[in-house]
Chains A and B, each alone.
Chain A
């Protein structure tokens, strides 16, 4: 079994339901996120378009975070999930530096690394990840990539010419796909990131783990 995610960006309407569901389900501390929805506006008024991209850990098949972790706190599960053992983590932040997708943070309370686990605890109880359940338009599709008849496999088959992963050139083989994405939504360097993109303040960066 190889669990994977697919987000149909045609369907996503940026409601951030998944983001909140993840925060609640995993008690993700203030100032940190396992899953977030990024808005990028494209074009010049009045010819403008807004893109919404949910961003989470890709559970890479060839995960740089797992490779760099000195104590195997980051490890593969048999179902393909890249999981983390917070009790073992020494907080070296190597994984934060190695992940090409910025998917890992230091939990300010435990001072250990943490990230999306595809809700491994819910999967173990045969439940869907919290973000999948919360999505009102079923833009998040989750399932077994090894099973040709699973929803996600069928979705990939039907949309073959329009399925992307982030930064394929890094050789990480993400188990997280997008349908309907483009350079602007999937490449962080293709858009300006200026002050004022946070809703309530001008903070664009935060100290890692609450200090340093």
Chain B
């Protein structure tokens, strides 16, 4: 029996109404979340490497700062492109409304981009000491920057699939997952085997925790709210997003977890890289499905 059913007793059918709006936030917003996860995630990973494998970090300051800079720019570009009035973006800074996660997020992301630009400059000038001092603040700021989209989703009343604190956890895990995956690929020969193993552990654990949260919502969400039950129908049975949902779960979480175990037992870096690539590609799908399905709900 479907989790959400309209009673046969009432047999209620909409017989005359207007067409309702389709998707409001399209794949541009998926791109926003995906790029932001990588842009903040690589910062978290460099921070971990600085403490656990300082010898690996020497040649990674500049590439990491450039990668974060590029992905945060992609995130901002797609955010801007998604606006119906992009040339009015400046209104956010001149008429800010501080209850909005969009406002707070814009302020933080702009500051973050400024600091990343500074990091690129410092790394280029080889001023490592100053770099490391600024880097601490960049890492701290990366946390709310990656979390604010969760706050934004939580502000969408009646799109009950997006709940706090689950979304916060998913955003930070997406950052550690994609950050570690990207760093494995970016590090190449600059990283020691041990450093790569550390990144592999972060990737595997992030995948495990994110997968547990998704599955918990999948199973228990429908018991909490009618909207969630209705929304999850789109990824159950022959729902329109079922294939994309499961493909995303396998590519991003299940297969990389297995591959990481295999790479540790076989000491294979190639397998680790494969896990990283799958996780990065799959994350886009996972985020996209979760973004789209609550938008398919009729609101009135």
Bound complex: CA of A68 vs CA of B85, how far in Å? 17
Q: Are the CB atoms of A94 and B14 closer together than 8 Å?
A: no
Bound complex: CA of A167 vs CA of B225, how far in Å? 12
- Chain B residues positioned under 8 Å from A96 (CB to CB): 21, 24
- B93-115 near A? 1/0 per residue, CB < 8 Å: 00111011111001000000000
Bound complex: CA of A44 vs CA of B9, how far in Å? 9
Q: Are the CB atoms of A111 and B12 closer together than 8 Å?
A: no
Select B156's contact among A68, A90, A106, beta carbons within 8 Å: A68
Q: Are the CB atoms of A90 and B10 closer together than 8 Å?
A: no
Q: Are the CB atoms of A68 and B155 closer together than 8 Å?
A: yes
Contact stretch, chosen from A4-12, A30-38, A154-162? A30-38
Contact stretch, chosen from A120-128, A132-140, A142-150, A195-203? A195-203
Given known contacts A94-B102, A98-B157, A194-B13, is B298 in contact with A189 (CB within 8 Å)? yes
- Chain A residues positioned under 8 Å from B83 (CB to CB): 90-92
Select A99's contact among B12, B96, B299, beta carbons within 8 Å: B299
Bound complex: CA of A167 vs CA of B158, how far in Å? 9
Q: Are the CB atoms of B6 and A190 closer together than 8 Å?
A: yes
> Which residues of B in the span 154-171 have a Cβ within 8 Å of any Cβ on A?
155-159
- Chain A residues positioned under 8 Å from B16 (CB to CB): 14, 38-39, 197-199
What class of interface size applies to chain B in its complex with A?
35 or more
- Chain B residues positioned under 8 Å from A199 (CB to CB): 16
Given known contacts A68-B100, A70-B96, is B157 in contact with A90 (CB within 8 Å)? no
Q: Are the CB atoms of A90 and B88 closer together than 8 Å?
A: yes
- Chain A residues positioned under 8 Å from B182 (CB to CB): none
Bound complex: CA of A194 vs CA of B28, how far in Å? 28
Q: Are the CB atoms of A42 and B158 closer together than 8 Å?
A: no
- Chain A residues positioned under 8 Å from B82 (CB to CB): 92-93, 212
Q: Are the CB atoms of B21 and A105 closer together than 8 Å?
A: yes
Bound complex: CA of A188 vs CA of B14, how far in Å? 9
A27 to chain B, nearest CB (A): 17
Q: Are the CB atoms of A188 and B25 closer together than 8 Å?
A: no
- Chain B residues positioned under 8 Å from A41 (CB to CB): 12-13, 15
- Chain B residues positioned under 8 Å from A212 (CB to CB): 23-24, 26, 28, 82
Q: Can you list 10 contacts pairing A with B, beta carbon distance less than 8 Å?
A: A39-B14, A39-B16, A70-B103, A71-B103, A91-B83, A94-B100, A94-B156, A97-B159, A194-B13, A212-B24
Given known contacts A68-B99, A94-B156, what 12 new A-B pairs fall within 8 Å (CB)? A36-B17, A39-B17, A70-B91, A71-B92, A88-B88, A93-B24, A98-B157, A189-B230, A189-B297, A191-B13, A197-B15, A197-B17
Q: What is the interface of chain B, defined by CB distance below 8 A to chain A?
A: 4, 6-7, 10-26, 28, 82-86, 88-89, 91-92, 95-97, 99-103, 106, 152, 155-159, 226-227, 230, 295, 297-300
Q: What is the interface of chain A, defined by CB distance below 8 A to chain B?
A: 14, 31, 33, 36, 38-44, 50, 55, 64, 67-72, 88-94, 96-103, 105-106, 111-112, 166-167, 170, 172, 184, 188-194, 197-199, 203-209, 212
